[in-house]
Structure 1
Amino acid sequence: MKKRILAYGRLSEAQMAQLSREFEVQQFKGLASADDPEFRAALPGAHGLIGSSVAISAELLENAPNLEAIASISVGYDNYDMEALSQRGILLCNTPDVLTETTADTGFTLIMATARRVVELADFVKRGDWQKSIGPEHFGSDVHGKTLGMVGFGRIGAAVARRGALGFGMRVRYAMASPKPALEAELGAERRELDELLAESDFVCVTVPLSEATRHLIGAHELTRMKSSAILVNIARGPVVDEAALIEALEMGHIRAAGLDVFEREPLSPESPLPHMANVVALPHIGSATHETRDAMAQRAVDNLILALTGERPISLVNEDAWENRHNA
């Protein structure tokens, strides 16, 4: 008898066919929440889940006694109760590496767009306000030769820094990461304490994962440490930055601008002033949103789930302890 999986992510016809050859598949198109009655009713019989953007809580897992593995079509896993998963020996898989370069492209796009005021000045032209040569009030700032401070220096952080150092001759500083001697040699990167990095950098790019330790990591204190000419870019998770403090810092001119792909609440609240601020470039969480990357992420998740449910080690396993518990039992 085939194992049963619930699919609620964007999967191609070929990927669905691949899963269907191995398992009995129930698909939930457009699933917005785990509170969906049909989804909750199907959970008790599920051996595997594959999807993204749906929070999986400990309470939900209690209704899934047969669950063996979850393949998340994402890198971040703050939507999952890791303690409950590991206690149950449920494998959680994600999709690192696959989206590194694409997300780094998004980060550097925000650096360039904020520095050169691209969105603001494109709107200026669209409104018909370009009636004469622009003056200093519309000038941007250079990116090449400036100091890029990376808050977090994992795969994505390193990829952003590589673009800056090798493509734009930027000085790279990094914080909130263990020493990276290989990257220091490759990019001339230097490690700093967070406060030092903030004071030194012209561009501060946030790439740390969200955890209780990093929630509101960038708050009022940290923003006041930055140069008034500095630009903050967040491609990590929205709650890593205290949004209220950021709005105040932007309004008061404590920092020059912000480029944001993530927010504390997503989709962004209509009441938020951020998208209406001239010195903010706000994007709808497009970090990995290209056809090629999203398809590759979905394929990695499919491969992970097939391996996990057939007793093999997944390619990208988040909770190693669950694997050890399962195989040492």
Structure 2
Amino acid sequence: MKQKVVVFSQLDQDILQRLQQQYHVVMINPKLGDINAQLLEQVKDADAMIGAGRLLNASNLATAQQLKIISSVSVGYDNYDMAYLNQKKIWLSNTPHVLTETTADLAFSLMLSAARKVPVLDQWTKQGNWQRTVGMMQFGQDIFSKNLGIIGLGNIGAAIARRGFYGFNMNILYHNRREKLELAQPLNARYCALDELLQQSDFVVLAVDLNAESKALMGQHEFDQMQSHAVFVNIARGSVVDEQALIATLKAGKIFAAGLDVYAKEPLQESELFALENVVTLPHVGSATAETRKKMAELAYRNLVDALEGRTPAYVLNPSFS
């Protein structure tokens, strides 16, 4: 009898076909009604799960009897109740590294778009407002040779720093739980306390993991430290930011602009942010290129197959269930 795999989100078609050739595959379908009810029914005899973007915990995994692995097609794993998975001895794997450069590209896209008012000017031009030479209302901010402050110098943060240093001659400041000399020295990056970074940076990019220490890391006090011409970019997680404090800061014009790819609630369909011209809003597309999503799906597939064939996956997050 084939082992059973539950697919709980959209998945690359090539990977799905490979899974269907090897295993008994069941797909969770929102059109069939309550998702949690479907999960509780399907995980009873499931050996593995694969997907992303779904909260998985005791409420929808309680019936699982033989589940070996949840293979997440993502880097972040805040959607999963790790304590519960450890208790049930279920591996959780993720897909790090393959999306680093793509997400760093997006961070710079947000920086450039927010600093140069790209979305606003795009609409302004299409609406027929370009009738004479542009004036102060259309002016943006320079990026070249400015101070770039990065909060979280992990793989993605370091990739953003490289783009700033080599591509835009930027001065790199960073704040992290610990100094990272091996990453910082080639870029002449300077380690700073958080307030110092905020006070001295022209651009602030948030690239931290979501954890107990980083939740609501950027609140009103932190936004008040930023310069009035500064641009704030978040490609980390929405919960790292006090969203209402950010909205108040943008409304008051206390910073120049913000570029956001993540939010406290996702998907985001209504928000005060949408009415503000000094914010660029994207729908959590940090890794959303065809090439990168293919690589992520491939890595998630390998993690799943390793677990089902008795091997420890390369990127399992809880190998000892501790």
- Given the two structures, how large is their TM-score scaled by the length of structure 2? 0.95
Q: Is the 8 A contact 1:174 1:189 kept in 2?
A: yes
Give 1:11's aligned amino acid.
L
- The answer for the alignment partner of 1:321 in structure 2 is 320
- The answer for the alignment partner of 2:92 in structure 1 is 92
Cα deviation, residue 216, structure 1: 1.0
- The answer for the alignment partner of 1:219 in structure 2 is 219
Q: Deviation string for 1:142-193 (max 9, x for gaps)?
A: 1010111111111111111111111000111111332111212221111111
User: Is 2:16 the counterpart of 1:16?
Assistant: yes
Q: Deviation string for 1:251-297 (max 9, x for gaps)?
A: 11211110001111112242x12122111011111111111111111
**Alpha-carbon distance in structure 1 between the residues aligned to 2:28 and 2:200:** 48
**Alpha-carbon distance in structure 2 between the residues aligned to 1:124 and 1:208:** 34
Cα deviation, residue 43, structure 1: 1.1
**Alpha-carbon distance in structure 2 between the residues aligned to 1:56 and 1:76:** 13
Q: Is the 8 A contact 2:151 2:174 kept in 1?
A: yes
**Alpha-carbon distance in structure 2 between the residues aligned to 1:71 and 1:31:** 23
**Alpha-carbon distance in structure 2 between the residues aligned to 1:90 and 1:232:** 38
**Alpha-carbon distance in structure 2 between the residues aligned to 1:131 and 1:87:** 66
Q: Is the 8 A contact 1:19 1:306 kept in 2?
A: no
Cα deviation, residue 79, structure 1: 0.4
**Superposed counterparts of 1:69-108, under 5 Å:** 69-108=69-108
Say if 1:190 and 1:33 are closer, same or farther in 2 by CA, change over 3 A.
farther
Say if 1:167 and 1:32 are closer, same or farther in 2 by CA, change over 3 A.
farther
- The answer for the alignment partner of 2:300 in structure 1 is 301
- The answer for the alignment partner of 2:278 in structure 1 is 279
Structure 1 runs of 4+ with >4 Å offset: 29-34
**Alpha-carbon distance in structure 2 between the residues aligned to 1:119 and 1:112:** 10
**Alpha-carbon distance in structure 2 between the residues aligned to 1:14 and 1:129:** 46
- The answer for the alignment partner of 2:177 in structure 1 is 177
- Given the two structures, how large is their TM-score scaled by the length of structure 1? 0.93
Cα deviation, residue 37, structure 1: 2.5
**Alpha-carbon distance in structure 2 between the residues aligned to 1:291 and 1:307:** 24
- The answer for the alignment partner of 1:139 in structure 2 is 139
SS of alignment partner, residue 42 of structure 1? helix
**Alpha-carbon distance in structure 1 between the residues aligned to 2:100 and 2:291:** 12
**Alpha-carbon distance in structure 2 between the residues aligned to 1:238 and 1:129:** 34
- The answer for the alignment partner of 1:265 in structure 2 is 265
Report the aligned-residue RMSD: 1.7
Give 2:20's aligned amino acid.
S
More displaced stretch, 190-199 vs 33-42: 33-42
Number of aligned positions between the proteins: 322
Identity %: 44
**Alpha-carbon distance in structure 1 between the residues aligned to 2:45 and 2:63:** 9
**Alpha-carbon distance in structure 2 between the residues aligned to 1:319 and 1:167:** 38
**Superposed counterparts of 1:23-172, under 5 Å:** 23-29=23-29, 35-172=35-172
Q: Deviation string for 1:99-143 (max 9, x for gaps)?
A: 111111110000011111111111111111111101223211110
**Alpha-carbon distance in structure 2 between the residues aligned to 1:285 and 1:109:** 13
Cα deviation, residue 34, structure 1: 7.6
Q: Is the 8 A contact 2:37 2:60 kept in 1?
A: no
**Alpha-carbon distance in structure 1 between the residues aligned to 2:140 and 2:32:** 40
**Alpha-carbon distance in structure 1 between the residues aligned to 2:33 and 2:168:** 42
Give 2:298's aligned amino acid.
Q
Q: Is the 8 A contact 1:8 1:31 kept in 2?
A: no
Gaps of 5+ in 1: none
Q: Is the 8 A contact 1:153 1:207 kept in 2?
A: yes
